[in-house]
Amino acid sequence: MPAFDEMTGTEGSVRPAYTELSGWLGEVPPDVLDYRRREAEVLFRRIGITFAVYGEADSTERLIPFDVIPRILAGSEWRLLKRGLEQRVKAINLYIKDVYGRRDILRAGIVPEDLVFQNPVFRPEMNGQKVPHDVYVHIAGVDIVRVDADTFYVLEDNARTPSGVSYMLENREIMLRLFPELFSRHRIAPVDNYPDELLATLRSVAPDSSTSEPNVVLLTPGVYNSAYYEHSFLADKLGIELVEGRDLFIKDEIVYMRTTQGPKRVDVIYRRLDDDFIDPLAFRPDSALGVPGLMSSYQAGNVTLANAVGTGIADDKAVYSYMPEIVKFFLGEEPILKNVPTWRCREEEHLAYVLDNLEQLVVKEVHGSGGYGMLIGPSADKATISEFRAKLKAAPKNFIAQPTLALSTCPTCVESGIAPRHVDLRPFVLSGRDEVRIVPGGLTRVAMKQGSLVVNSSQGGGTKDTWVLDD
């Protein structure tokens, strides 16, 4: 079954949003495109993504392939996505508040109690904890895939420390430099206000006790973290300090940073450090990356952590399948964005179906126990399938299953010229005190290998600029 193509649909005729691009691709000589592609790489190395690691032995590996052909969304498509994302993130915030508070959703039997209580990403330490302005997920990176002209699925709600937004910004910057003429043929919604929107969001959630000019900082695990580049890039764009755990300390339930002019109070921490490492007095005692006592200040309501501690309980694979019900429960609305149909192996009927159809399904291991165990039925051999069958029978609770999706494709520069490759989309949703902000577009990831559905950069995936037409 051929996948839906973003440019030509399934019928082969060019879809309206791609009219200009398609024409341009027809005009532009292949060597010019190839030349621009190499130019883009040079630009990335020179000014962009890799400047922090430039010269490291492994710099070549860290350069994520960039494809110069943009992925385009029509204005109407984007408006649908935007409404859906706002709805979903609102529900996620209400759900997390409930899970650490009244637990109505558990009492109503909508999400099973053990799924929450026994989940490693549930943080008992957050129980009864009030967070400033009831916002838990300030920054969400929701992964969306498309299967036909009208159907977008949410694949994953990244509600902890989603990354990739620096690529969204750099990709646009590079495209503007390389293809000004292409931009002049379109009306493309800008993305470069993202840092401003992010800063406004972070400031809006400062604790009530903070000063009128809240001090926002970005907490990084340090230069050895694989996303350090993004951390320093964002801190720079936001004009805030990039701090490590050792730059901060707690005194009398207030967070301070050590500056050359003495201690300075910190009000909001955009933290890119996992829950486990954030405070050795509350979580992993061996963490040297965190701030001892941070949770005491957090509990006292004197600092905002973005995202809040314990938000993993919203993006866990096991919880994911309940998201449509969660949306209905908290908002009383039908979800605008669908979930990928998911079988919960913890439920007997679902398990039976999954066991009967392993060859067609993708089986994913949920939280904890063993990491990345995944079965892609159609491409697995018999031995692997029977191994998974045994695992499923032994511990059905640990698994969910989904159909193998035909992700949409987008024209992409490859060795042989221009060919369709599978893509997904990660828009970044910002939730502030009273406003949800979404910069139009997001990060489009593309599987560079023919037929591959894996868009992860760690497995050879690349990125594209994402254009939302202002039509």
Partner 1 sequence: MRMHVSHDTVYRYETPPSSVIQTLRLTPRNHSGQYVVSWLISISADCRLDAQDDAFGNLIHTFTAEGPIDELIVHVEGEVETEDNAGVVAGAIERFPPALFLRDTPLTQTDAAIVEFSERYRSSGANTLVMLHEMLGGLNREIVFDTNPTHTATTAAEAFALKRGVCQDLTHVFISAARHLGVPARYISGYFHRSDGVNDQEAGHAWAEAFVPSLGWVGFDATNGICTTDAHLRVAAGLDYLSAAPVRGARSGGAGENLSVRIQIDQAMQQSQE
Partner 2 sequence: MLSRTADNLYWLARYVERAEYLARILEATQRLASVPIPIAGGTNEWESAVATAGCENAFFEVYEEANEETVTEFLAFSPDNPSSIRSCFEVARTNARAVRTALTVEMWDAINGTWLELKRYGNGPTSREEFSRFLRWVQESSLLFDGSAYRTMLRSDSYWFTRLGVFLERADNTARILDVKYHLLLPEAEHVGGPLDYFQWAAILRSVSALTSYHWVYRESVKPWLVADLLILKEEMPRSLANCYENIVTNLDKMAGSYGRQGPAQRLARGVRTRLQNSRMDEIFQRGLHEFIQEFIADNNRIGGIITQQYLA
Binding site for partner 1 (CB under 8 A): 113-114, 117-118, 120, 122, 124-129, 249-253, 280-282, 285, 292-293, 296, 299-300
Question: Would you say 35 or 117 has its CB closer to partner 1?
Answer: 117
Least spacing, CB of residue 258 vs partner 2, in Å: 4
Check binding of 241 to partner 2 (CB under 8 A): yes
**What's phi and psi for 146, nearest 5 deg?**
-125, 140
Question: Would you say 229 or 283 has its CB closer to partner 1?
Answer: 283
Question: Is the backbone of residue 398 left (phi > 0), alpha (psi -120 to 50) or beta?
Answer: alpha
- Quote the tokens at residue 25: 């691709």
Question: Would you say 222 or 292 has its CB closer to partner 1?
Answer: 292
- Quote the tokens at residue 364: 């994913």
Q: How far apart are CA 409 and CA 403, in angstroms?
A: 18
Q: How many CB atoms lie within 10 A of CB 252?
A: 9
Residues 191-230: x/- map of binding to partner 2 (CB under 8 A)?
--------------------------------x-------
Question: Would you say 180 or 370 has its CB closer to partner 1?
Answer: 370
Binders of partner 2 in range 252-291 (CB under 8 A): 257-261
Asked whether the beta carbons of 140 and 431 are under 8 A apart, the reply is: yes
Q: In the chain, what is the straight-line distance between the N-terminal and C-terminal CA atoms, in Å?
A: 32
User: Residue 293 touches which of partner 1, partner 2, none (CB < 5 to 8 A by kind)?
Assistant: partner 1
Check binding of 134 to partner 2 (CB under 8 A): no
User: Residue 19 touches which of partner 2, partner 1, none (CB < 5 to 8 A by kind)?
Assistant: none
Question: Would you say 51 or 183 has its CB closer to partner 2?
Answer: 51
Q: How many CB atoms lie within 10 A of CB 444?
A: 27
Closest CA to 136 of 310, 295, 324: 310
Least spacing, CB of residue 235 vs partner 2, in Å: 7
Least spacing, CB of residue 217 vs partner 1, in Å: 18
Number of H helices, E strands in the chain: 16, 21
Residues 41-70: x/- map of binding to partner 2 (CB under 8 A)?
----------xx-xx---------------
Q: How far apart are CA 188 and CA 251, in angstroms?
A: 48
User: Residue 117 touches which of partner 1, partner 2, none (CB < 5 to 8 A by kind)?
Assistant: partner 1
Check binding of 242 to partner 2 (CB under 8 A): yes
Question: Would you say 96 or 413 has its CB closer to partner 1?
Answer: 96
Least spacing, CB of residue 207 vs partner 1, in Å: 15
Question: Would you say 18 or 100 has its CB closer to partner 1?
Answer: 100
**What's phi and psi for 390, nearest 5 deg?**
-65, -45
Question: Would you say 26 or 262 has its CB closer to partner 1?
Answer: 262
Q: How far apart are CA 237 and CA 381, in angstroms?
A: 48
Check binding of 247 to partner 2 (CB under 8 A): yes
Those residues whose C-beta lies under 8 Å from the C-beta of residue 296, and which sit 6 or more positions away, are 250, 253, 281
* Residue range at the interface with partner 2 (CB under 8 A); choices 233-241, 301-309, 395-403, 423-431: 233-241
User: Residue 280 touches which of partner 1, partner 2, none (CB < 5 to 8 A by kind)?
Assistant: partner 1
- Which residue do the tokens 């994913």 mark? 364
- Which residue do the tokens 């079965």 mark? 375
Asked whether the beta carbons of 173 and 48 are under 8 A apart, the reply is: yes
Q: Are strands 338-339 and 152-158 parallel, antiparallel or unpaired?
A: parallel
Question: Would you say 251 or 258 has its CB closer to partner 2?
Answer: 258
User: Residue 281 touches which of partner 1, partner 2, none (CB < 5 to 8 A by kind)?
Assistant: partner 1
Binders of partner 2 in range 342-401 (CB under 8 A): none
Those residues whose C-beta lies under 8 Å from the C-beta of residue 44, and which sit 6 or more positions away, are 50, 63, 66, 170, 174
Question: Would you say 235 or 314 has its CB closer to partner 2?
Answer: 235
- Quote the tokens at residue 443: 């990060």
Q: How far apart are CA 65 and CA 71, in angstroms?
A: 15
Element holding 420 (H helix, E strand): strand 417-426
The amino acid occupying position 33 is: L
Least spacing, CB of residue 466 vs partner 1, in Å: 40
Least spacing, CB of residue 259 vs partner 2, in Å: 6
Those residues whose C-beta lies under 8 Å from the C-beta of residue 359, and which sit 6 or more positions away, are 377, 378, 380, 385
The count of residues interacting with partner 2 (CB under 8 A) is: 19
Interface residues with partner 2 (CB under 8 A) are: 51-52, 54-55, 223, 232, 235-236, 241-244, 246-247, 257-261
